[in-house]
Amino acid sequence: MKKLIASKKSSFSFAAAVGTGMTAKAAEKGGAEFLLLVNAGRLRMRGAPSLSCYLPLENVNTWIANIGKTEVLNRCKIPVLMGCSVANPQDNINDIITLAKESGFTGVTNFPSACLIDGDIREVLELQNMGFEKECELIKAASKQGLQTLAYVTNNDEALQMAAAGASRLCINIGFTNSSSVEPSNLTVDNTVKIIDRALRNIPDHIATYVEGGPITTPESALAICSKSRVQGYIAGSTIDRIPLEEAIINIAKSYRVISNIENIDSIIQESSYIFGSSKKMLQIKKMVEQFASLNTPILITGPSGSGKDALVEEIHQRSDKHRNKIIHVDCLNLALEGGLEFLFGSVAGYQGKGSASKIGVLEYVNNTTIYFDEISALDHETQSKLINFFDTGTVRRLGDDKHHQVNCRIISSTREPIDQLLKKGVLIEELYYRLSALYISIPALNKRTEDIPFLAKKFIADIKKSHSQKISNSGLSALMEYDWPGNIREFKNALTRACLLNHSKTLKSSDFNFLKELLITNSIDEASVVPLNAPEKKSLSAQPLTEKDWITETLQRNRFKRGPTATALGITTRTLYSKIKKYNIYSP
Amino acid sequence: MKILTMVSHCKNNSSDQILCPILKGLNSAQSDCAIIIPAGNANRLLLTALATKKNRANCQVAILCNDPFIDRDSFFLELYSLGVRTISNWPSSIFLEQSFKKAMSNIGIHPESEFEYLTQATSAGLRPQAFIRSLDQGRQAIEKGIKDLIIHPGLNQKLTLKAQNAVLDSLQLMIEAFLNIDPNLSIYIYQHSLKDLNAYRERYSGKVSPISGYVIYGSVE
């Protein structure tokens, strides 16, 4: 964007074609240099398409004059030009200009114009003096009377005619805006530039030139076209009122939907200390936990990184008859790197060579409590095979020993990857899987249960700021619901912590989560920078959830590869971060 | 054989007139373009004209079917309560062509939607009468269940005698084609003036296909 602005002549001009006092005032406040008050703007605000401006729905000239007098001219200080139709053969051009002047308009424009009409009916319009020729007369007469003029044209012939008529501004209309569901357009920026430059051939430099419609739907596309063609500015129609207003209203409406869900948050939060949400999936999980927590059956939990597997394990443990003892958490990712077998099962004296002492394995400690194998698929096959025996017999035998030690424990395991993939790849031994999964719980990613976000947000804010009564606004919730949360609950909690700590106002707003948008931009820039120019078209990245590797890599980059801040941002220990860097072979200087 | 006149205003009811107030001040060529002349609210003007009219029994009127702001059901009921019994689609999109036609079509403004609109009026006791200008449009209207067709010869352009005769011949072909589809149709031929009507009658005197009558554009008031 900056490049575009810098490379273009300094005077990018911008105006708006509007139809109500509210949109006129807002466009002026936003920096529009002048306004066109046109019937299409009014019809759009009433819910009809811009193109209905041609239909016999109102007498355009008296209608627009009246709207100008009652809503716009007394509110706006910038020049306002009246959209005048010459299609009615009973309307005299001088009468139209007098109406515009007496109403207080600074000038006139030929809108709706015959220039967009083609076929035999256009010929009849011209033969009957109801078409573009008459529009030229309007511009000529208005110009002579000292009014400002803007002429809509579509090609070079029309542009030259309007220039000869004395138009002070020309606007190349390249069709109705394509994303407004009116007319699909295949025009690219380059094609549009060609159309514009062809239309403006031999047009004197003193005439200000503008473009409207076609593929232009954003300030970026307007700037791109203006920087490549000779037009100096852009006139926004539905792109400044209907499209952004619709989007804004949809978002606000969604926020109200969110609010209606929040009413019961408090009661739901009290139901469970660890599982939050009222989504169908989370309610199913809660039910399963209630039914199985008190039993001794092994449980296997799957879910993407940061989705809340640890919290769910804690919940199950707290509801079991073993809750008085501390849960034993086995980080299998670390075990895979550091002699996990001996760590789990222990060894007899001399097992590691002469003089080595006997070691008690972790499994011998787990009497009357819960043992949690976090990322169990990270264990090598030897360890997995030994665990099968442990699960079958409930006994532990140290390495190099014949004695069996009986233990009584609840076994819960988790994996990040879906089970079918782990079995297919042979990472998890099938026999072990059957023993682990007497109850199988799959936790969905946060972006698959966005309806839970309000509950989670309220809970976490309450946890973060216990001494403050900080709240979150609808727009803030809306911002949270729009983000994809590749790091799931963990990232969500960190984002809320960051927003709470950085903002001391009572209510968190959408703007307090702007760093999420920056994250999205950073991701897309990073992706763009690694795609070679001639690379085949890649599938939409935003459509694909980021993997844990992507998430860690991105967080490392953001924190300039400092492991402390990266681990904090990810909500994991530096030790775990180190293991994951090694596991995924992530570049880290 | 009936001869109906398309008028923009009439003080007293006449069963041989089709009332369409938005056409006020337009000549016959201009009236063909009425769909793209934003000179007033066509349907509101019609209701006002009907309200001030005496002897409103069995009125025939032309309506703007593509009005995005009108509530169809209440509009039809209001028309019926004002004595209207037959409605037709005018101003109409039957002449739009090329990219403008495509753009209008994308927002739902096309002849087929007009025929659909007219058909819906039957539930309010109104008889639909469709203006058409091509074989395709006629077929679409018949498919929608419309029994009265007004075949328009096309825009009022200066044509050579040969071209004019070709237009008239094409009208004959259309009449035959439509009657082949449904022999019970009521078919009217539209003419821009009495002069055009006489030219048509002269060319086909004695061998005219069985039509119900003519519609002629009325005088400019």
Q: Render pLDDT for B51-70 as a digit per residue (tens, 0 to 9).
A: 887 777 789 999 999 999 99
Assess whether the previous peptide bond of B153 is cis (omega < 30° from 0): no
Please check whether residues A425 and A512 belong to one and the same domain: no
Phi/psi at B141 (5° precision): -65, -45
CB A118 to CB B106 under 8 A?
no
Residues of chain A neighbouring B92 (CB-CB closer than 8 A): none
Please check whether residues A197 and A212 belong to one and the same domain: yes
On the CB side of A38, CA atoms within 13 Å amount to 30
Please check whether residues A451 and A423 belong to one and the same domain: no
Q: Which residue from B25, B66, B95 is facing A55, i.e. has the nearest CB?
A: B66
Residues of B with CB under 8 A from a CB of A: 22, 25-27, 29-30, 32-42, 64, 66-69, 91, 95-104, 106-107, 109, 154-157
CA dist B78 and B172 (Å) reads 37
Whether A589 is in a domain gets the answer no
Beta-strand ranges (E) seen in A257-318 are 299-302
Domain that holds residue A322: 291-443
Q: Looking at residue A536, what is its pLDDT?
A: 39
Give the end of a domain, one of A443, A467, A487.
Answer: A443
Whether A271 is in a domain gets the answer no
Structure-block tokens of residue A246: 């619709």
Close Cβ partners of A272 (under 8 Å, ≥ 6 residues apart): A286, A315
Listed range (A268-272, B122-126, B137-141) with the worst mean pLDDT: A268-272
Contact between residue A134 and residue A93 where contact means Cβ atoms under 8 Å apart? yes
Nearest CA in chain A to B99: A118
CA distance A53 to chain B (A): 7
Please check whether residues A205 and A306 belong to one and the same domain: no
Nearest CA in chain B to A60: B38
Average pLDDT over every residue of B128-148: 97
Distance of CA A402 to the CA centre of its chain: 60
In terms of pLDDT, which residue wins out, B45 or A286? B45
Please check whether residues A427 and A487 belong to one and the same domain: no
Q: Looking at residue A380, what is its pLDDT?
A: 85
Q: Which residue from A46, A55, A127 is facing B35, i.e. has the nearest CB?
A: A55
Number of domains into which chain A is organized? 3
Please check whether residues A31 and A178 belong to one and the same domain: yes
Residues of chain A neighbouring B32 (CB-CB closer than 8 A): 121, 124
Q: Looking at residue A186, what is its pLDDT?
A: 65
Contact between residue A458 and residue A472 where contact means Cβ atoms under 8 Å apart? yes
Mean pLDDT, contiguous 10-residue spans, chain A (589 residues)? 41 91 95 96 94 96 97 96 97 96 97 95 96 98 97 96 97 70 59 90 94 81 84 90 84 66 51 66 85 84 88 87 84 75 84 79 82 89 87 85 84 90 89 88 88 82 68 80 86 86 80 76 46 38 52 74 76 76 69
Please check whether residues A302 and A349 belong to one and the same domain: yes
Nearest CA in chain A to B93: A55
* Residue A28, domain CATH: 3.20.20.70
Whether A565 is in a domain gets the answer yes
Look at residues A253, A223, A224, A218 and name the one whose alpha carbon lies nearest to residue A238.
A218
CB B104 to CB A51 under 8 A?
yes
Please check whether residues A218 and A363 belong to one and the same domain: no
On the CB side of A91, CA atoms within 13 Å amount to 24
CB A112 to CB B41 under 8 A?
no
The 8-class DSSP code of residue B12 comes to B
Please check whether residues A411 and A332 belong to one and the same domain: yes
Residues written for chain A: 589
| Residue with the two structure tokens 């011998």 | A364
CB B36 to CB A125 under 8 A?
yes
Q: Looking at residue A150, what is its pLDDT?
A: 98
Confidence of residue B27 (pLDDT cuts 50, 70, 90): very high
Q: Looking at residue A560, what is its pLDDT?
A: 67
Bridging pattern class, strands A346-347 and A359-360: antiparallel
Is the CB of residue A56 less than 8 Å away from at least one CB of chain B? yes
Whether A367 is in a domain gets the answer yes
Residues of chain A neighbouring B100 (CB-CB closer than 8 A): 116-119, 121-122
Structure-block tokens of residue A534: 């001639």
The 8-class DSSP code of residue A71 comes to I
pTM across the whole model: 0.64
CATH architecture under which domain B2-217 falls: Alpha-Beta Barrel (3.20)
Beta bridge partners, B209, equal none
Please check whether residues A362 and A378 belong to one and the same domain: yes
Whether A259 is in a domain gets the answer no
Listed range (A540-549, B38-47, B123-132) with the worst mean pLDDT: A540-549
How many CB atoms sit inside 10 A of residue A557's CB? 14
Residues of chain A neighbouring B93 (CB-CB closer than 8 A): none
**Is A2 exposed, middle or buried (CB count within 10 Å of its CB: 0-12, 13-18, 19+)?**
exposed
Bridging pattern class, strands A369-374 and A439-442: unpaired
Interface test with B, best of A46, A117, A179 (most B CBs within 10 A): A117
Please check whether residues A107 and A11 belong to one and the same domain: yes
Look at residues A271, A332, A319 and name the one whose alpha carbon lies nearest to residue A291.
A319
Look at residues A410, A416, A407 and name the one whose alpha carbon lies nearest to residue A436.
A410
Is residue B115 classed as helix, strand or coil in its secondary structure? Answer: helix
Is residue A344 classed as helix, strand or coil in its secondary structure? Answer: helix
Q: Render pLDDT for B89-101 as a digit per residue (tens, 0 to 9).
A: 999 999 999 999 9
Please check whether residues A439 and A464 belong to one and the same domain: no
Q: Looking at residue B114, what is its pLDDT?
A: 97
* Residue A394, domain CATH: 3.40.50.300
For residues A331-362, one letter each, b for 16 or more C-beta atoms within 10 angstroms of the residue's C-beta and e for the rest, the string is bbbbbbeeebbbbbbbbbeebbeeeeeebebb
CB B33 to CB A120 under 8 A?
no
Q: Looking at residue A3, what is its pLDDT?
A: 39
Q: Looking at residue A526, what is its pLDDT?
A: 45
For residues A464-476, one letter each, b for 16 or more C-beta atoms within 10 angstroms of the residue's C-beta and e for the rest, the string is bbeeeebebbbbb
Q: How far apart are the first and last CA of chain B?
A: 26
Q: Which residue from A47, A57, A120 is facing B157, i.e. has the nearest CB?
A: A120
Whether A275 is in a domain gets the answer no
Nearest CA in chain B to A56: B38
CA dist A103 and A278 (Å) reads 58
Q: Render pLDDT for A261-313 as a digit per residue (tens, 0 to 9).
A: 555 555 544 455 566 677 788 888 888 888 888 887 889 999 988 888 888 89
Q: Looking at residue A284, what is its pLDDT?
A: 85
How many CB atoms sit inside 10 A of residue A393's CB? 12
Whether A551 is in a domain gets the answer yes
Beta-strand ranges (E) seen in A303-358 are 328-331, 346-347
Domain locations in chain B as residue ranges: 2-217
Is residue A316 classed as helix, strand or coil in its secondary structure? Answer: helix
